[in-house]
Structures are given as C-alpha cells and as structure tokens.
Amino acid sequence: MSSPTLNALVHTMRYEADGIVSVEFRPASPEVEFPAFEAGSHIDLHLPNGLVRSYSLCNPCSDRQRYVVGVANDRKSRGGSRYVHQQLRVGMTLPISAPRNNFKLEEGAEHSVLVAGGIGVTPIWCMLQRLVAIGKPVEMIYCARNRKEAAFCDAIEALARENKVALTWHFDADKGAPPDLPAMLAGKSAASHFYCCGPAPMLDAFEKTCEQMGYAHAHVERFAAAHVEAPSATETYVVECARSGKSVEVPPGKSILDSLIDAGLNPDHSCKEGVCGACETKIVSAGEIEHRDGILSKAERAANKTMMICVSQCRRGPLVLDI
C-alpha cells in the first residue's frame, strides 16, 4: 500500500538558476491540509507520467500550507525532472506525499556546518533558514559548477549578511578545481554537527573527510541509492513475515517489496529506489543483509535493525521481517 497522498496545486513555478526551477505547492481544495514539516524533510511527487520522485523542501519550515521544492533538469533524467521542467505547469494538480525526514537537523547542536553541492542546496537552504530563525550558530559552504547553475544565491547571501553567518562559496569554473573539503572543514569543533547534500562523489569525500578529522556528527542526504554492480542474491531465498505469518520466496532479480506485494501483502512504499524511506521495515532477525539504499548510515547498516525492502537484499538467510 502506498503512503496516503495529499492533493496539491501547482501554485507557482519560478526560474532559480540555469536548469533549476522551484515549484510551490498549495492545498488543491479547502479540505486538504498540509502537515507541518521539519528542516531536512522531503516530499514525493506522484507525477502524471506514472513516476514517483522525491524532492527536498526548501522553504522555511515555519511556513504553513505551502511546500516549495527545487528541481534540477538532470542531464541523466529518467523522466522525473524532465517532466517537471517540460510538462508540469501552474494550475495543475497532482498527488504528493506528506513530508518525511531522513536528514534530521539537530537543533540543539552548539554549532552547525552546512555543505551544499549543486541542487543539494535545497535541504541545506531550509536548514540555514531554520537555524537562523532559532538563533543557533551556523556556517555554510556552497559549491557548484558555476554561479549561473547555483540556486537561491541572492537569498542565501542576503540572509547570511543580515545575520552575520559565515558563508563560503566555491565555483569550480572560477577555481579551476573541485572543492577541497579537507581544507574547508579543517579546524572545526568536534562537537559541531556537519550536514552535506550533493552529488555522490562529494558526499563520499565529505564522509571520508569527517571520519579522518574525527567529526562524529556527520549527516548526509543522497539523491539516489548507491550503485551496486550486480545483485548478490543468485538463489531464491525466503522471507518470513512475523506479523502476518506468511513465508514469501524472493527469486534472483526480484525485490523483496515486489515479492511481498505479489504474495498479497501491502507494505508501505513509494519511490522503489531506496531514497524516500517509505518502505523502511524492521528486521526481526537476519543472516546477512546487503543494504543498497541511500538513507541508512554506516552505523545503521551495521546494526541491521531496519532495511529498505525496495532495493536491499538478503545474501544469506534466514530473514525475518516485522510485516
């Protein structure tokens, strides 16, 4: 069963940078009420072409009855961002999910360091606005290929200037090289919380840098699940469903989620790509799990308490899930 959806009106679409538009949604009718959200949250858009895509909210979380997302026209689009740019129009309505948050902001931290890469600025911009609003110390690093392709620059610069927030810009075109994260993150307090959203190579470099510098509080949000060359499951295995009492076979090349649905079960799900978190399922017991999602941290994967059943697999059974 997919998560309940909200009927949303495309109220405004705005050019934000080369290849980037923001889309503002409002309730499509008086009986529709948007839930409140936290900084770092995302919503799923159920697009008319049948695709479901997740986008981070970038407006202040103090806003009520208004969700704003930023969408880059991805050169490798599989149809989601291309549809938004080419076919989505003001006045259209579409189902959206309620906000979910896999990138939570620790509002009580003594200091926060926000690192944005390209369109990864969307949740980071929301976090910056929130931390400024509640008077918490924060600094921001914004990296992009060039300024023309960097969204919300003027608004970020104005907020930083007005509130004396340390703001570092890095544009590859100007510097002639990608950002040097070890240099940018050096000398920070180990008690700080560090947040990064951007392309996979940047996130990998960020995590490596934070680990090397002993920064324990590092948080990332990925656009997509990590690429895995080939499924490790070469044989059929069985998933035991603790609550329903069913045993379901999962053949090679098929996801646990699809196998459960075909067996008549209705686990919650949305994106089927390991990035939205809707299908996160509690593991009762497991032999060896191959986590392929873009949400769980290394520590969470090692703990093996939950898994995203749309993409993750079982290398060695038995696998018992709380379904």
- 1: pLDDT strictly greater than 50: no
Cβ count near 90 (within 10 Å): 12
pLDDT at 299 over 90: no
Domain residue ranges in the chain: 5-97, 112-221, 237-321
Prediction pTM value? 0.87
Task: Report residue 298: phi and psi, to 5°.
Answer: -60, -40
What is the amino acid identity at position 147? Answer: R
For the domain made up of 112-221, give the CATH fold: Rossmann fold (3.40.50)
pLDDT of residue 76: 75
pLDDT at position 273: 85
232 φ, ψ (degrees, to nearest 5):
-80, -25
- Predicted pLDDT of residue 270: 80
Q: Considering all CA atoms of the chain, what is the largest pairwise distance in Å, rounded to the nearest integer?
A: 60
Q: Per the structure block, which two tokens stand in for 122?
A: 């969307």
CA within 13 Å, CB half, 239: 30
pLDDT tens digits along 20-61: 999 999 999 999 999 999 999 999 999 999 998 999 999 999
Q: Is the pLDDT of residue 286 over 60?
A: yes
* Residue 2 binned pLDDT confidence (cut-offs 50, 70, 90): low
Dump pLDDT digits (tens) for 173-192: 999 999 999 999 999 999 99
CATH for 237-321 is 3.10.20.30
Q: Indicate the residue type of 79.
A: G
Report whether pLDDT(306) > 60: yes
Residue 294, pLDDT score: 85
Token pair 């990332």 is at which residue?
Answer: 220
Average pLDDT, the chain: 92
- pLDDT greater than 80 at residue 317: no
Fold of domain 5-97 = Elongation Factor Tu (Ef-tu); domain 3 (2.40.30)
Tens of pLDDT along 127-182? Answer: 999 999 999 999 999 999 999 999 999 999 999 999 999 999 999 999 999 999 99
Burial class (CB in 10 A: 0-12, 13-18, 19+), 93: middle
Q: How far is Cα 192 from Cα 206, in angstroms, rounded to an integer?
A: 14
Rounded Cα gap, residues 73 and 55, in angstroms:
13
Which residues are paired to 314 by β-bridges? 289
Per-residue pLDDT tens for 211-259?
Answer: 999 999 999 998 766 555 545 556 889 999 999 999 999 998 899 999 9
Tens-place pLDDT, residues 260-282: 999 999 898 888 888 888 899 99
Measured in residues, the chain has a length of 323
Q: Is 226 exposed, middle or buried (0-12, 13-18, 19+ CB in 10 A)?
A: middle
